Amino acid sequence: MTLFQTLKNESVHITKNRFKVVALLLFFGATLYSVWQGYLIYKYRAEQILLVQKSARESQQEVLGWFKNGKSGPEERPWIDVKNPFWAMWYGSHYVIYENHPLMILSPGQVSDIGIYKKVSVWSTPFDQDLIPELSNAEFQVSGFFDFSFVWLFLLPLLLIILMYNIQSFEKDAGLLLLVNIQAGKTNSWWLKRVLVIGITLSLWLIVVVIVPRILIGKSFLFNKEWIGYLFFSMIYLWGWLGLYTLILSRNSSQVSQAIQMITIWIFLVLVIPASVQQWIQMRNPASLMTEWQEVEEKRDSIYATSYDTAKVKLLAEFKDLSTTKFGLLDSISDPMKKGAAYRTLYKMYIDSSSEVFLQSIERKNQAFESFAFINPVMWFQNKLNHLSNSDLSAIIEIRRRIRSKSNSINKRLIFDEWNEVVVDSIQFKKYLEL
């Protein structure tokens, strides 16, 4: 008998059981619904990104209009002069945008834990209060989105229980096992084939579902590394649960006993272990109230209180080329704006190194979580899939680093241009926009 025929034969155990058919159809429906939900999140984010980009372009055009018409800034703010590098940069509408990744349709992960975009200025830090997420009802967010990764990682094992709990155990309870043994010769290969039918059906469904986002957004990302990785890890996850449940089936107990064993494993792997790990890590490293960050910000006064000579030495140690600028060549500066730029840069340097320390501490905390991967495989897969779709914690940290980096670039450019007394024109302004 060919494998196909065997599979066809064994599929009768699913197709003739109304409850299993309904469960399977509900699961299929739930996966499609979850992909649709993911798509709505993706679409919403894309719309917001377009709105922000449009708004940024409009305000940049407005500034270019000022240059063209010989204006120095908005009429109601006469103190603003965009020919000054500081104001030109201020009106540059620099944004860091948390870009969409096509796989976010399947795993939106932690995208709702941080803002989609942030306007970045010379004063921006990775921990600014305006980096807050979109408005949402937190009560609805307690267990995250109803996304594909949720369905696959949490509901799939429940579906497998429904499909598998009575494999062999029904025959045992009904006293059919001997008959099967006589007919099939080996009972092991007989019930393993039944498991195989389930595995193959769900694997095929997985492939179909993972292709759907491509159809929805009409982009070709089919054979890239992330997509293959996503499929691979989802597949491993499916076969992992099948293997686990197969071990239970091999013990050949009654239907109820098998169901209880399976649901107990589900409860432990999906609920109890992840919840314990979370509790443990949060007790050891409670979520920061960021008072340390306030301490960092409070340091500003002491930095501004240092003598100019000391400040300049520190500044030149970081930016050697500053010594060749117009104001770098001077021993002292009387212009408060130029002097302020020096202190601002020093303060930014301090913020920059401190924020990296903070970011690294978050990463370390996350590493503690990764060390639990062996006993907490479900959440490992969750974060792995989120990582592939750029919606995990590392993506959030990356956004924070990009804010830091952009703000640093702005700052660096500013101090050089301010100390060289650059007069900004539309060409220079456009260069600022490229930062």
**CB of 155 or CB of 435, closer to another protein:** 155
Distance in Å, CB of 127 to another protein, minimum:
8
Q: Which of 183, 282, 353, 360 binds another protein (CB under 8 A)?
A: 282
Binding status of residue 108 toward another protein by CB under 8 A: no
C-alpha span between 66 and 337 (Å, rounded): 23
Shortest distance, position 186 Cβ to another protein, whole Å: 26
Q: Does 389 bind another protein (CB under 8 A)?
A: no
Nearest approach, Cβ of 372 to another protein (angstroms)? 8
Residue 401 half-sphere exposure toward CB, CA atoms < 13 A: 12
Of the candidates 204, 211, 272, 317, which one interacts with another protein according to CB under 8 A? 272
Hey, which residues between 46 and 85 contact another protein (CB under 8 A)?
Answer: 47-48, 51-52, 55, 76
Choose, by CB under 8 A, the member of 15, 224, 288, 310 that binds another protein. Answer: 288
Span 13-52, contacts to another protein by CB under 8 A: 19, 23, 30, 37, 44, 47-48, 51-52
Nearest to 252 by CA among 179, 170, 333: 170
| Residues between 121 and 140 that touch another protein (CB under 8 A) | 127, 129, 131-140
Distances (CA, A) of 48 to 56, 93, 373: 12, 16, 35
Per-residue exposure over 123-138, b if at least 16 CB sit within 10 Å of its own CB, e if not: ebbbbbeebeeeeeee
Rule CB under 8 A: choose which of 85, 92, 109, 157 binds another protein.
Answer: 109
Q: Which residues 143-202 are close enough to bind another protein by CB under 8 A?
A: 143-144, 146, 150, 153-155, 158, 161-162, 165-166, 170
- Applying the rule CB under 8 A, the residues between 234 and 253 that interact with another protein are none
Per CB under 8 A, which region of 84-92, 245-253, 266-274, 401-409 contacts another protein? Answer: 266-274
Q: Toward another protein, which CB reaches closer, 311 or 397?
A: 397
Answer yes or no whether residue 305 interacts with another protein by CB under 8 A.
no
Q: How many residues are given for the chain?
A: 435
**What is the rounded CA–CA span in Å between residue 424 and residue 63?**
11
Stretch that binds another protein, among 2-10, 87-95, 336-344, 380-388 (CB under 8 A): 380-388
DSSP alpha helix (H) spans, 285-335: 291-298, 300-305, 308-318
Q: Output the CA–CA distances (angstroms, integers) from residue 289 to 53, 57, 127, 137, in the order listed.
A: 32, 36, 11, 22
Residue with tokens 């993911």: 38
Task: Please count the residues of this chain forming the interface with another protein, following the rule CB under 8 A.
Answer: 81
148, 34 contact by CB (below 8 A): yes
Q: How far apart are CA 119 and CA 390, in angstroms?
A: 21
Closest separation in Å from C-beta 135 to another protein? 5
Give the integer Cα–Cα distance in Å for 393 and 94. Answer: 24
Q: Does 332 bind another protein (CB under 8 A)?
A: no
435 alpha carbon, distance to own chain's centre: 24
Q: Is 224 among the residues that bind another protein (CB under 8 A)?
A: no
Residue with smaller CB distance to another protein, 47 or 318: 47
Is 90 one of the binding residues for another protein (CB under 8 A)?
A: no
373 binds another protein (CB under 8 A): no
Phi and psi, residue 330, nearest 5°: -85, 150
Question: Residue 433 burial by CB count (10 A; 0-12/13-18/19+): exposed, middle or buried?
Answer: middle
